[in-house]
Amino acid sequence: MGRNKFSQKEIDSIGRLLRLKVSGTRYQQKEIRHKLRVNYEFNISDFNIQGKAFGYEDLQECIRKGIIVILDDATISDMKARRERDRQRDKANQE
């Protein structure tokens, strides 16, 4: 499970990548999905209907429905910092 809260800047970048994905080759689509997961913790499978392509219009629909929430940059930065602290704590506990 990825995130469902993003800054406007992140949503703009995600939207741009989704537009590229639609017109890309299979390999390019795979690369774009990887970028979405790694750079933005955005998993298409969290938001789409299985077997249906997820594009820019679907992203906008998720925003309109409140499934994806846009927050200010400071809140997103705090959220990312908390997640990183939690990851470090979990890693230390495993060791």
Strand partners of residue 7: 71
Residue 10's pLDDT is what?
95
**Per-residue pLDDT reduced to its tens digit, 51-86:** 788 999 999 999 999 999 999 989 998 988 998 899
**Signed CA dihedral, 69, 75, 76, 82: sign only:** negative
Structural domain boundaries in the chain: 5-94
Quote the CA–CA distance of 17 and 48 in Å, as a whole number: 16
Residue 29's pLDDT is what?
95
